[in-house]
Amino acid sequence: MITEKIEKILNEQIEKEGYSSNLYLSMASWAETEGFAGISTWFYAQAGEELLHMMKFIHFINERGGHAIIPAFDQPPVNFDGIKKVFDQVLEHERFISGSINDIAALAIKENDFATQNWIQWFITEQVEEESSVQGIIDKLNLLGEENMYLFDRDIMSLRGTGE
């Protein structure tokens, strides 16, 4: 059984994961309309992962005797100011998500909720990987420069084209 405080913070994370999925879907759709097939493939795959993250929270809350609430989501931005800026925005967003995952871990410790402490570790590891993979993309973009975006788009396709 989870405490009310834990149920509340986990429910808040459902909204954040769902918003992340919609944000990346919006980025995918924008990149697709701009002709960047590789970048949009990466974002569609990322949106799918975030949806799975949201589902993990839903199932965990319900399995522990709480009630997962499916919230309304804010409209994500529709247009973006270039490829470099879009990935800067992703990194900023993922750092924000890492902060909220850390808040859950901290509350679980405070509440002596060992099951949630254990379960949230997967997300802590996942956030380290996500931040590092987006940072890697930004580093690559900095090396290539905006004029080589065609090559970058082809390159990033290989990261997701295999369904990774």
DSSP 8-state code for residue 78: S
Q: How far is the CB of 123 from ligand OFO (least distance, A)?
A: 5
Could you give the C-alpha distances from 77 to 2, 19, 56, 73, 81, in angstroms and in order? 35, 11, 25, 12, 11
In sequence order, the 6+-apart residues with CB closer than 8 A to the CB of 162 are none
Binding mask of the shown chain, residues 122 to 161, with x at each position contacting ligand OFO by CB under 6 A: -x--x---x-------------------------------
Exactly one of 2, 10, 14, 17 binds ligand OFO (CB under 6 A); that residue is 17
Q: Which two tokens stand for residue 110?
A: 């405070």
Q: Taking CB under 6 A as the criterion, which residues in 85-124 touch ligand OFO?
A: 94, 97, 123
* Inter-residue contact 153 to 36 (CB < 8 Å): yes
* Inter-residue contact 68 to 57 (CB < 8 Å): yes
43 binds ligand OFO (CB under 6 A): no
Q: How far is the CB of 144 from ligand OFO (least distance, A)?
A: 24
Q: How many CB atoms lie within 10 A of CB 20?
A: 25
**Which of 44, 144 has the CB closer to ligand OFO?**
44
Q: Taking CB under 6 A as the criterion, which residues in 19-38 touch ligand OFO?
A: 20
Which residues form the interface with ligand OFO (CB under 6 A)? 17, 20, 50, 53, 94, 97, 123, 126, 130
